[in-house]
Amino acid sequence: DLKSRFAEAGIGLSIPDGQDAVAPEELLQAMRLTLDYSTSTGHPLFFNQLYGGPEPAGIAGEWLAVAANTNCHTFEVAPVFTLVETEVLAKLARLIGGPYSQDHDGLFVPGGSIANIYGMHLARNRADPAFKQRGAQGGPRLVAFTSEQAHYSYRKAVALTGLGTDNLISVACDADGAMSPASLQEAIKAAEQEGKTPFFVGATAGTTVTGAFDPLEPLSKICREHNVWLHVDGAWGGAALLSRKLRHLMAGCERADSMCWNPHKLLGMPLQCSVFLTQHADILRRTNAGGAAYLFQPDKLHAEYDLGDKTIQCGRRPDAFKLWLAWKAYGDAGFERWVDRADELAQACEIRIKESGGALQLVQRRAPFNVCFWWVPAQLRPYTPEQATPAAKDLLSKVAPAIKELMQQKGDAMIGFQPLGSAPNFFRIVFAGAKLLQDCDLDALLQRINAYGQQLFPAQQ
């Protein structure tokens, strides 16, 4: 195991009492081992997560920021990083368009989950202006809505912010996994009839598992009718904004009150790089200000540029810088090409699955960046989900874990799997770090899945 490998190399993983300083050569050896035994997220066939190998310009930007070691709370300690953050946010606001090109507010935050918390928190304070001071008790009975396919960070958000998971209402999705506007309309009305106050809809642009885009135009209309804050979790799919071909998927996003996007996912920035944006100018400071006198002295130089009091943090890394540098390095066209290439690869994958004669089967329509499929053992073909027996489902649920384990052991590839609703474990290929992948790589991958499947689940005679 890992512990003994490190110990054999003379660097124990544990830090014993009285740890001695070790020599530089041993440190280098420890670093080498760390890289050797780390999962190669930069492998072209790493499809396990919504991120992959980082882009060189992103690494360069991050390395510089690490060495400069400063902090985007005040302009005086981070003048360039502060301006860069402001410029990147302005660029993204222009990309979104609509009211965002006039006015916006935003921040880079440590992850999409925390960006979703920001959205819900701003919404809460708008719906209940006394919230910050009074707290939740004694306020209106607020309820939030997300789709049943939304990211689990919304659940964490309601648990953290004292709304409670009981007050997060799950809205039904269509067959592709997109939130159904009719179901949202109904759910909001039902809540209102129960005397509750709907205040927040958390839509998703690019769901984590199936890659579906909630229909933002109709959702924004419903939200406006009911005076509800619309937040768009575009952590994954927000990248579609960069592509002329795909940005229609985000249509209506400019009407959302707030949104998030993770350039550390499809854009290959080193973790973490997450943006929160809202169309409401100056709302972050009004909501989050703590006004610490030791940090935000009005009588120091350039205090007006300080970003720090907008946040729920104090220290904050300059995560905008790597994206800024990469944007300069690859340009708008470069980013667009990456996004389009992810979609092309997903399409190529879809075609191969459809042409596999039943060995591979789509779980549902493929999304721009996600393809969900089963490898189906011969005795279950053709696999028809609606007619599958419990025994068939049980067998199918064992396939993806077993093939994944074998691929991991051989170091071939890494593809995530999960069950969803009534669908037993299936593979999910996500095209995050796969820009340089060729179609022939896809062929090889799918052939290998097929070969391993046949080996692990041989056709019964």
| Binding site residues, ligand PLP, CB under 6 A | 50, 111-113, 151, 153, 204, 207-208, 233, 235-236, 262, 274, 313-315
CB of 171 to ligand PLP, least distance (A): 15
For its own copies, the closer of residues 222 and 340 by Cβ is 340
Binding partner of 280, given its own copies, ligand PLP, none, CB within 5-8 angstroms per partner class: none
CB nearer to ligand PLP: give 222 or 239. 239
Q: Measured from the CB of residue 146, what is the shortest distance to ligand PLP in angstroms? A: 10
**Shortest approach of its own copies to residue 7 CB, angstroms?**
12
CB of 160 to its own copies, least distance (A): 5
Minimum Å gap between C-beta 272 and its own copies is 6
Q: Which partner, its own copies, ligand PLP, none, binds residue 26 by CB below 5 to 8 Å per kind?
A: its own copies
- Residue 236 contact among ligand PLP, its own copies, none, beta carbon within 5 to 8 Å by kind: ligand PLP
Instruction: Name the binder of 160 from ligand PLP, its own copies, none, CB < 5-8 A by kind.
Output: its own copies
Residue 216 contacts which entry, ligand PLP, its own copies, none (Cβ below 5-8 A, type-dependent): none
- Distance, in Å, from the CA atom of 120 to the CA atom of 306, rounded to the nearest integer, reads 24
Contact partner, 204, from its own copies, ligand PLP, none, Cβ < 5-8 Å per class: ligand PLP
CB 177 within 8 A of CB 207: yes
In the complex with its own copies, the residue whose CB is nearer, 33 or 348, is: 33
Cβ contact 48:40 at 8 Å: no
Q: How far is the CB of 186 from its own copies (least distance, A)?
A: 23
